[in-house]
Chain A
Amino acid sequence: MIANHSFKNRIVIISFVLALLLAVNVMPPAAANQVGGIVQVYIANTDDWQSYQNHGTGILRQDDNVAGIQQALLHTNIDVTSSVSLNAVAHYYPDGEQQLGFSQLSMQYKPLSPNKIKFKARAGFFYPRLSLENVDDGWLSPYTYTQSAINSWVGEEMRTLGLEFSIYSPGRARRSPWSWEVVAATFKGNDPLGTIISWRGFAMHDRQSLNNDRVNFAAYPTVIDTDFIWHPDYVEPFHELDQRWGFYTGLHFRYFNQTSLRYYYYDNQADPLAVNSQRLYGWRTKFHSLSFQHKLDNNTRLISQLMSGSTVMGLKYVYVDFDAWYLMLSHQVSQHRISVRYDRFIVSEDDIFPTDMNNSDGYGLTLAWRYDLNDNWQLGLEQHFNKNSAQNRAQLDLPVDANQQQTLLVAQFRW
């Protein structure tokens, strides 16, 4: 399986390089090919709860006092025609299971139109635009390194492999302070979405899953027992297992550029009885997401998101309701940005196997200071605390409750 992974990785890298070469050579104006990148290196001081990435139950990305690469990504936007562009984000991660690959690869169609109500569409592999936190290049957060519980989950398990259509109306062209957009999408894949939060619970990190990635979690005995649930201690979230189409629909409202509101309803329509040879299941995952941003003034903003949903696997072998929200305040003073975010996340079960415990919950507090030395270089310091509990830690003879903390010192270079 690992060999298969690395083969697929190679195919992905070769495709990306070929796509870039093709774009550079075929498209007449060289400037039309916009390539940029971000590299972050970090020094971490973290507690020793073994990370989910190393099959532990800790909800942070690191579990050791180490230094390394936090992010290394290339993003490109290539104009194919006046209306069509290719967007790609390729990453290198030293941690996790897939080191090289894409987090996003899509074509966008956005024709010029004199109409007050316009149309645009995307096709490929991309994020639904739920988040008002992940607004930097490569879907990174410009506010904190450790992202909200909601968007940590979106980054690790959710991606649209399909088509997204939007009808939108920019307010200024209508002489109105209000802009709006209606979004509808349909997609394949992403059938195992929900697996990780049902067993591990929500986590807090910035490790995005790549196109063919695998996310590890602890080998809970009830999960891996071939006479019980019989599921591996990992999920590969982007598999198509049942040939069904998922969908989501969204509404965006914006008042000037000051206040934004986004509502999404998401349903992957997965067949909870679908299972593949790896014993990965379809998880029928549905949720509502409401995101909000308000700029109190030119330097200060409030950002918040609420998510509420459920997921079911098998004949209700696992059924959980999940709820999470965060509230962030971010303030910029000259070249400095200071952000503080409070997170709350709860997963509660109501299924036929109470011995396979799924209840988990937690709180998080994240404080970050990021300083732009110039257009290319940025320094940042983040302190994160969380208090989380997961009942299934008892299966591994671990305390149910964990207090975790992490200090990150990060240097970033972008071009």
Chain B
Amino acid sequence: MKFIKKIFWLGSAFVCINAQAIPVTFDVISNQDSPVFQTVVYLEPDGEVEIAESKKQVAVMDQVDRQFMPHILAVQKGNKVVFPNSDSIKHHVYSFSPAKQFELKLYKGSDAEPLLFENQGEVELGCNVHDWMLAYIWVVDTPYFAKTDQNGKVTIDVPSGNYRVKVWHPRIQDDLEGLTQEVSINAPTNVSFRLKQKLLQDLSFYEQAADKLTDY
């Protein structure tokens, strides 16, 4: 597992250490001006941008205390995700999403092979043992992506060029195409997204109140 994490962090660092990188800072706020945590922000370059060489990464979607960890995971198309089980009980992870359909029985201490995510889009994960468990994998077709922090902000380093900047979050109701911005990056830039529609209800309380005595 340490090895996998190392690969993941090395891969993440790759974008940052690119010699021509220009920092672009994103700010995502709701229609009520509150920051939107864990929004996936990604920049799709147009044909002229010299795209960083794609390094294969293995991302991690863990099961910890009867919850998926993280709740939202962004990965680049063509990369793999490994599903460890840090709990001492069985999980049965599945997806019926068109972008990736699978099921994995994760037993205590079992090592499941990483799964390849080849199609862009949303993959909603559930657990057939613990019905409250839910997570998303958002598959993007660019190496330039990240998630916003608690303040709704994130900085991504990219080579200069023209990009379509997109955002995704499961609580966003706005039309995603309508939110897309065309930006030209030649110097450090700030890009803001303010949502027009109300966010869907925050259901993160499911994660706070679950414990091993929740159900049987």
A-B contacts, 30 of them at CB < 8 A, read A29-B110, A31-B108, A32-B105, A34-B107, A79-B105, A82-B103, A82-B105, A112-B96, A112-B103, A112-B128, A135-B216, A136-B213, A168-B131, A171-B132, A172-B133, A172-B134, A173-B126, A175-B200, A176-B201, A177-B201, A177-B203, A177-B205, A179-B132, A256-B132, A256-B205, A257-B132, A257-B214, A258-B205, A260-B215, A375-B88
CB of A295 within 8 Å of the partner chain: yes
Query: B interface vs A, CB < 8 Å?
Result: 88-90, 92, 94, 96, 103, 105, 107-110, 124, 126, 128, 131-134, 200-201, 203, 205-206, 208-211, 213-216
Size range of the chain A interface in the assembly: 20 to 34
Give the chain A neighbours of B205 by CB distance below 8 A: 177, 256, 258
A-B residue pair count with CB separations less than 8 angstroms: 76
Instruction: Kindly provide the distance from the CB of A359 to the nearest chain B CB, expressed in whole angstroms.
Output: 35
Q: Complex formed: what's the CA distance from A172 to B126 in Å?
A: 10
With A31-B108, A77-B90, A257-B214 as known contacts, state yes or no: A295 contacts B209, CB within 8 Å.
Answer: yes
Q: Complex formed: what's the CA distance from A170 to B127 in Å?
A: 11
Give residues 252-280 of A contacting B (CB, 8 Å): 256-258, 260
Instruction: Kindly provide the distance from the CB of B99 to the nearest chain A CB, expressed in whole angstroms.
Output: 13
CB of A336 within 8 Å of the partner chain: no
Q: Complex formed: what's the CA distance from A298 to B209 in Å?
A: 6
- Residue of A whose beta carbon sits closest to that of B111: A31
Give the chain A neighbours of B211 by CB distance below 8 A: 257, 298
- Residue of A whose beta carbon sits closest to that of B214: A257
Give residues 158-178 of A contacting B (CB, 8 Å): 168, 170-173, 175-177
Give residues 230-272 of A contacting B (CB, 8 Å): 256-258, 260
Q: Complex formed: what's the CA distance from A79 to B132 in Å?
A: 21
Interface 0/1 of A120-164, CB less than 8 Å to B: 000000000100001110000010000000000000000000000
With A135-B215, A257-B132 as known contacts, state yes or no: A175 contacts B210, CB within 8 Å.
Answer: no
Asked if A257 contacts B209 (CB within 8 A), the reply is yes
Give the chain A neighbours of B131 by CB distance below 8 A: 168, 170, 172-173, 179
- Residue of B whose beta carbon sits closest to that of A134: B216
Q: Contacting B108 at CB < 8 Å: which of A34, A112, A136, A260?
A: A34
Q: A176-B201, A298-B211 are in contact. List 8 more A-B contacts (CB 8 A).
A: A112-B96, A114-B96, A142-B213, A172-B131, A177-B203, A256-B132, A295-B209, A298-B208
Residue from A79, A112, A179 with most neighbouring chain B CB atoms (10 Å): A112
Instruction: Kindly provide the distance from the CB of A297 to the nearest chain B CB, expressed in whole angstroms.
Output: 9
- 8 smallest beta-carbon distances between A and B, as pairs: A170-B131, A114-B96, A31-B107, A257-B209, A257-B210, A258-B209, A31-B110, A172-B134
Q: Complex formed: what's the CA distance from A372 to B164 in Å?
A: 54
Give the chain B neighbours of A176 by CB distance below 8 A: 201
Asked if B109 contacts A31 (CB within 8 A), the reply is yes
Q: Complex formed: what's the CA distance from A176 to B131 in Å?
A: 13
- Residue of A whose beta carbon sits closest to that of B106: A31
CB of A387 within 8 Å of the partner chain: no
Residue from B110, B124, B200, B203 with most neighbouring chain A CB atoms (10 Å): B203
Give the chain B neighbours of A135 by CB distance below 8 A: 213-216
CB of A55 within 8 Å of the partner chain: no
Give the chain B neighbours of A177 by CB distance below 8 A: 201, 203, 205-206
With A129-B216, A135-B213 as known contacts, state yes or no: A173 contacts B103, CB within 8 Å.
Answer: no
Instruction: Kindly provide the distance from the CB of A74 to the nearest chain B CB, expressed in whole angstroms.
Output: 16
Q: Complex formed: what's the CA distance from A375 to B214 in Å?
A: 18
Give residues 370-391 of A contacting B (CB, 8 Å): 375
- Residue of B whose beta carbon sits closest to that of A168: B131
Asked if A32 contacts B132 (CB within 8 A), the reply is no
CB of A110 within 8 Å of the partner chain: yes
Give the chain B neighbours of A31 by CB distance below 8 A: 107-110
Instruction: Kindly provide the distance from the CB of A34 to the nearest chain B CB, expressed in whole angstroms.
Output: 6
Asked if A110 contacts B128 (CB within 8 A), the reply is yes
Asked if A175 contacts B108 (CB within 8 A), the reply is no
Q: Complex formed: what's the CA distance from A179 to B110 in Å?
A: 30
With A177-B201, A179-B131 as known contacts, state yes or no: A256 contacts B105, CB within 8 Å.
Answer: no
Q: Complex formed: what's the CA distance from A258 to B128 in Å?
A: 20
Give the chain B neighbours of A173 by CB distance below 8 A: 124, 126, 131, 134
Give the chain A neighbours of B89 by CB distance below 8 A: 34
Asked if B110 contacts A170 (CB within 8 A), the reply is no
Give residues 27-42 of A contacting B (CB, 8 Å): 29, 31-32, 34
Q: Complex formed: what's the CA distance from A156 to B126 in Å?
A: 37
Q: Complex formed: what's the CA distance from A77 to B110 in Å?
A: 15
Asked if A112 contacts B213 (CB within 8 A), the reply is no
Give the chain A neighbours of B128 by CB distance below 8 A: 110, 112
Give the chain A neighbours of B208 by CB distance below 8 A: 298
Q: Complex formed: what's the CA distance from A31 to B111 in Å?
A: 10
Instruction: Kindly provide the distance from the CB of B38 to the nearest chain A CB, expressed in whole angstroms.
Output: 16
Instruction: Kindly provide the distance from the CB of A192 to the nearest chain B CB, expressed in whole angstroms.
Output: 26
Give the chain A neighbours of B109 by CB distance below 8 A: 31
Give the chain B neighbours of A179 by CB distance below 8 A: 131-132
Q: Contacting B107 at CB < 8 Å: which of A29, A82, A112, A114?
A: A29
- Residue of A whose beta carbon sits closest to that of B215: A135
Give the chain A neighbours of B209 by CB distance below 8 A: 256-258, 295, 298
Q: Complex formed: what's the CA distance from A173 to B214 in Å?
A: 18
- Residue of A whose beta carbon sits closest to that of B171: A175
Give the chain B neighbours of A110 by CB distance below 8 A: 128
Instruction: Kindly provide the distance from the CB of B174 to the nearest chain A CB, expressed in whole angstroms.
Output: 16
Q: Complex formed: what's the CA distance from A110 to B109 in Å?
A: 23
